């Protein structure tokens, strides 16, 4: 029986991943942890404990005491926030990963998931249909930490028998929990402002295309990768994962089909430079081939559901 630890479980991804894993593996077998206090849903549906991933001793102790078999480590400082505190962000992102890899090596919890990002690419990477293997010269502290993290994950798999699995998530779109300070956050904020104010001032420019994915697809595919037969995985760094690519203008037009009065204006800030260094679209055929990556949401389906759910949430 699997016993699963989720680190950083109260963020945009964790808050949904915990509930999906509890449904699948049983509430009592999915241990949610974070450095802040949970809301009712996570607290009332299964075990939760405050746990700082930077505290190695406590992390290892937790894993051994609860007979953990799998770890999902979601703790990180995202791209926008990381540019404000580069050295701390590097320290946190790398230490969070290295502590988890070491804990996996020194315990029975060999299987671990740690997300990488499209931020591993940089301004010299081919921007369209970006291949899995290509030029990678990220110029953000977040991207550098993700690229280094991928290399460490592969190293621990090869050298120490840790079963490291990862994907390069695109920007994730969801309504349950606010995004945590990234460059793709506009694609969530826009829905809340559309419903609340009827307008949105976007911090990226009109024609900045980025790869994005609806959270349900991200969660389904994350679990699919973790459940895949190890012998099928040709990559032990991180798999490209594409989703849907669109610009702020295309997203606004799709919202306007349902809310004709909605209007958008553009005031690009420091995150524009980050977005300009990332791919516009991604080639993910290796993930589709190796472990069956499969997405269900196109832009229209995603926009319809986001507007409905955000409306309900704001009521
Ligand atoms: P988030 O910022 O919403 O959540 C991160 C969680 O980690 C928070 O609940 C935070 O309290 C917790 N945390 C921070 N420091 C911690 C510590 N020292 N110990 C334990 N917990 C700590 O982030 P997210 O959007 O859920 O992203 C999760 C992971 O996925 C990150 O590695 C991120 O880089 C990656 N990712 C996210 C996206 C996206 O669009 N959301 C895209 C690509 C990659
Ligand atoms: C961010 O914008 O920092 C994240 C990511 C794509 O890694 N959403």
Q: Is the CB of 211 under 6 A from ligand 1?
A: no
Considering Cα of 280, then 286, then 290, then 292, what sign does the dihedral take? positive
Residue 112 burial (CB < 10 Å; 0-12/13-18/19+)?
Answer: buried
Query: Residue 52, SS3?
Result: coil
State yes or no: is 142 an active-site residue. yes
Instruction: Ligand 2, residue 183: give the atom nearest the CA.
Output: 2
Of the pLDDT bands very low, low, confident and very high (cuts 50, 70, 90), residue 222 is: very high
pLDDT tens profile 58-92: 999 999 999 999 999 999 999 999 999 999 999 99
Catalytically annotated residue among 25, 72, 142, 155:
142
**% of the chain surpassing 70 pLDDT:** 100
Which ligand is closest in space to the CA of residue 79?
A: 2
pLDDT tens profile 228-281: 999 999 999 999 999 999 999 999 999 999 999 999 999 999 999 999 999 999
For the chain, what are the domain ranges? 4-171+213-240, 174-212+244-314
Pocket test for ligand 1, best of 5, 121, 180, 282 (most atoms within 8 A of CB): 180
Of the pLDDT bands very low, low, confident and very high (cuts 50, 70, 90), residue 283 is: very high
HEC per residue, 152-199:
HHHHHHHHHCCEEECEEECEEECCCCCCCCCCCCHHHHHHHHHHHCCE
User: Ligand 1 centre from 142 Cα, in Å?
Assistant: 12
Q: Is the CB of 217 under 6 A from ligand 1?
A: no
Q: Look up the CATH architecture of domain 174-212+244-314.
A: Alpha-Beta Complex (3.90)
CATH class of 4-171+213-240: alpha beta
| pTM for this model (two decimals) | 0.97
């Amino acid at each position: 029986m699997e016993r699963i630890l989720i680190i950083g479980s109260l963020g945009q991804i964790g808050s949904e991943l915990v509930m999906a894993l509890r449904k699948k593996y049983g509430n009592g077998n999915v241990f949610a942890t974070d450095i802040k206090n949970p809301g009712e849903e996570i607290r009332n549906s299964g075990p939760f404990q405050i746990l700082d991933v930077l505290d190695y001793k406590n992390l290892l102790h937790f894993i051994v005491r609860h007979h953990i078999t799998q770890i999902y480590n979601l703790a990180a400082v995202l791209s926008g926030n990381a540019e404000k505190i580069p050295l701390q962000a590097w320290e946190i992102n790398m230490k969070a990963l290295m502590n988890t890899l070491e804990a996996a090596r020194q315990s029975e919890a060999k299987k671990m998931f740690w997300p990488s990002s499209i931020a591993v690419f940089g301004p010299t990477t081919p921007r369209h249909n970006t291949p899995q293997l290509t030029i990678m010269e990220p110029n953000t502290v977040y991207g550098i930490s993700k690229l280094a993290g991928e290399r460490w994950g592969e190293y621990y798999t090869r050298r120490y028998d840790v079963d490291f699995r990862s994907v390069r998530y695109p920007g994730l779109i969801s309504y349950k929990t606010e995004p945590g300070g990234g460059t793709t956050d506009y694609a969530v904020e826009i829905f809340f402002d559309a419903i609340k104010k009827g307008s949105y001032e976007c911090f990226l420019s009109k024609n900045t295309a980025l790869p994005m994915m609806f959270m349900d697809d991200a969660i389904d595919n994350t679990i699919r990768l973790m459940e895949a037969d190890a012998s099928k995985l040709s990559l032990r760094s991180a798999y490209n994962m594409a989703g849907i690519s669109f610009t702020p203008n295309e997203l606004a037009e799709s919202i306007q089909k349902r809310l004709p009065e909605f209007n958008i204006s553009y005031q690009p800030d420091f995150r524009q430079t980050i977005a300009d260094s990332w791919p516009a679209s991604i080639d993910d055929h290796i993930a589709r081939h190796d472990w069956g990556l499969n997405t269900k949401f196109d832009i229209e389906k995603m926009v319809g559901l986001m507007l409905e759910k955000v409306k309900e949430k704001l009521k």
